[in-house]
Amino acid sequence: MNSHGHNEQQVVWAVVGTDIGPLLLAATREGLVNVVFHATVAVRDKALGRLADRLGTDPVEAPDSPLLTESIRQVDAYFAGERRDFELPLDWSLISGFNRQVLRELASGVPYGAVVGYGDLAKRVGQPGAAQAVGTAMGANPLPVVVPCHRVVESDGGIGGFGGGLETKRKLLALEGVLPEPLF
């Protein structure tokens, strides 16, 4: 508690090297709150600034923090092919409403190695015809990889869009056995 009797939000972060490039992982006491692709210094600094604005406190680099240790371990195991499911507490505070509903359904209902269409996911949350809104929710996902927006594809078999870039989406789907490994 601070001097005014309020609980202070704590946000810790670390950058983890992966097969798809550096990922920034950020956590609060509630759980993992943000995963950011391509975490170069510039991308990292911009993401940390957004987190500070949204959560009201400056994130602190703390790769050894107990709040991050398990997230880092599970992300490493996923990319090593040793983990299929993330079992982490998640802090959903960066997303709300329809987007949160869609992402929660995605996290619980689309397992490793499977894909779902944007329209099918819209139907699962009781909003048939909201495929485009599902696409918007995927683009707003603050927890990519852990909340697997890479598993959402077009109904005609197209790969669809992806905030981390299409090559990153292809690599994640190849890791999960959905697509063949890229040749180069």
Q: Sign of the C-alpha dihedral, residues 33, 38, 44, 49?
A: negative
Number of H helices, E strands in the chain: 6, 6
- Specify whether the CB–CB gap between 34 and 147 falls below 8 A: no
Helix ranges (H only) for 19-151 are 41-55, 66-79, 97-109, 118-124, 131-139
Looking at 149, 152, 153, 173, which residue is catalytic? 149
Which DSSP letter does residue 150 get? G
The CA–CA distances, whole Å, from 61 to 26, 79, 103 equal: 9, 22, 27
How are beta strands 12-16 and 23-27 bridged, if at all?
A: antiparallel
Beta bridge partners of 14: 25
- Active-site residue, 83 included: no
- Specify whether the CB–CB gap between 151 and 116 falls below 8 A: yes
Residues catalogued as catalytic: 149
